[in-house]
Structure 1
Amino acid sequence: MTQDCDASTDTNIDALVRSRIRALRLARGWSLDTLARRSFLSPSNLSRIETGQRRIALDQLVPIARALDTTLDQLIESPNDDDVVIRPQRNEQRGATIWTLARERTPFEMSVAKMRITTPAPPTEELGVHPGRDWFIVLSGTAELRLGDRLILVEAGNAAEFSTMIPHAIGAHDAPVEILAILSHDGERAHLAPAKGTTEPETSTRK
């Protein structure tokens, strides 16, 4: 029974890889001849690969992936529902609920997160710094952006970008605020990691 399940899974992934190759080729407007020339394979071999008439070999997938400007991992990765549903992480001490939207690090070492903040920005003496720049847009409510001694109110629809070498923090003004933030690697560690003295954020479906 287990062998049957494994065979079925392999077949499904194989079919998915073939469809990805064809879809990526067509999205670029390439003929079989074009992809064949770029991947140093024959058009007939590519045709049989796409239609399932030929078993896909690793030494064929590598040049195909390179020609399509993707990676071998992306071509063969198995679909998983865990990569679709993004569950919130709550941290009561920070007064924030966070949805991390970028699951993989981007080429520029940035991450994207939606944040719901319920507490005001902390006082100046509690602010932190880290290298880089942060950016956020307010989806609803009004955000308090504390930069050193300044308190800047950022309303819904407005965005803010600032040097994170200035002591800073983001809070909610009068009512909960929701923001979409783009953070550097250092910004992610500063703003998305658990607050000092706490454990990892509790996974919850509550908002």
Structure 2
Amino acid sequence: MKQEADVDRLVRQRIRALRHSRGWSLDTLAERSFLSPSNLSRIETGARRIALDQLIPIARALDASVDQLIEPTDDADVVIRPRQVHERGMTVWALANNRAPNGLSVAKMRITTPAPPAEEAGVHPGRDWFTVLTGTAELRLGDRLIIVEAGDAAEFSTMIPHAIGAHGRVPVEVLTILTNDGQHAHLPA
């Protein structure tokens, strides 16, 4: 029973927090979920149990899934000390686990070698994005070599042969967001 009460309290908190983050009053959420404001107030305060036939329209109105509202809050999904993987002049720290939204991967990379020539650069569907944390990066896009300084970011089509390297053989650290295709192409298995 304690676990059920904890989940119930968590769902109430999430509903209220999502409503507040959108700047909505109870009336606005009521209008969008086709429930009465007083019913929603009792749900948020715990004066009324949340029924599935109420949870679905509330989730829909908040542009969330029922799964997102009831997802547990254990620490299994928190990455505190990411595992390092060393490969080909690069160290990678995966900062998001398999449950990242939309299948995106987030990683920090420390690169010590220059960008390879165009004929060694890879391609995959989609777009990649990175920002330089420290150092200076070389972004190889086909025959072009673009210098990206610390604090700057780059987004580019990944159908162009591309690679990231360290400019002047001074290590560069980047934070990158990759799609599934980018993850398979750039991150060690």
- Paired residues, what number? 186
User: Residues 178 and 75 of structure 1: is their aligned pair in 2 closer, same or farther, counting only changes over 3 Å?
Assistant: same
Contact 1:86 1:101 in 2 (8 A): no
The equivalent position to 1:131 in structure 2, one of 122, 125, 130, is: 125
Contact 2:107 2:175 in 1 (8 A): yes
Contact 1:147 1:166 in 2 (8 A): yes
Unaligned runs of 5+ in 2: none
Contact 2:92 2:107 in 1 (8 A): no
- TM superposition outliers: structure 1 runs of 4+ over 4 Å: none
The equivalent position to 2:115 in structure 1, one of 115, 118, 121, is: 121
| C-alpha deviation, 1:124, in angstroms | 4.1
2:180 corresponds to: 185
User: Residues 40 and 176 of structure 1: is their aligned pair in 2 closer, same or farther, counting only changes over 3 Å?
Assistant: same
Contact 1:87 1:99 in 2 (8 A): no
2:101 corresponds to: 105
| C-alpha deviation, 1:177, in angstroms | 1.1
| C-alpha deviation, 1:86, in angstroms | 4.5
2:76 corresponds to: 82
Calculate the TM-score normalised by the size of structure 2.
Answer: 0.82
**Amino acid in structure 2 at the alignment position of 1:96:** T
Q: Which stretch shifts more, 95-104 or 43-52?
A: 95-104
1:168 corresponds to: 162
- The question of 1:157 aligning with 2:151 is answered yes
Determine the C-alpha separation between the residues in 1 that align with 2:33 and 2:122.
50
Contact 1:88 1:97 in 2 (8 A): no
**Amino acid in structure 1 at the alignment position of 2:184:** R
**Amino acid in structure 1 at the alignment position of 2:72:** S
| C-alpha deviation, 1:76, in angstroms | 0.9
User: Residues 121 and 62 of structure 1: is their aligned pair in 2 closer, same or farther, counting only changes over 3 Å?
Assistant: same
Determine the C-alpha separation between the residues in 2 that align with 1:30 and 1:133.
34
- The question of 1:39 aligning with 2:19 is answered no
CA RMSD of aligned residues (A): 2.5
Determine the C-alpha separation between the residues in 1 that align with 2:17 and 2:54.
17
| C-alpha deviation, 1:123, in angstroms | 4.2
Determine the C-alpha separation between the residues in 1 that align with 2:164 and 2:67.
37
Superposed CA deviations along residues 143-176 of structure 1, whole A, max 9, x for unmatched, are 1223334443322123333332222211223222
Superposed CA deviations along residues 49-70 of structure 1, whole A, max 9, x for unmatched, are 1221222111110011111222
Contact 1:138 1:159 in 2 (8 A): yes
The equivalent position to 2:50 in structure 1, one of 51, 56, 75, is: 56
| C-alpha deviation, 1:72, in angstroms | 0.8
Q: Which stretch shifts more, 137-146 or 161-170?
A: 161-170
**Amino acid in structure 2 at the alignment position of 1:49:** I
**Amino acid in structure 2 at the alignment position of 1:126:** E
SS for the counterpart of 1:130 is coil
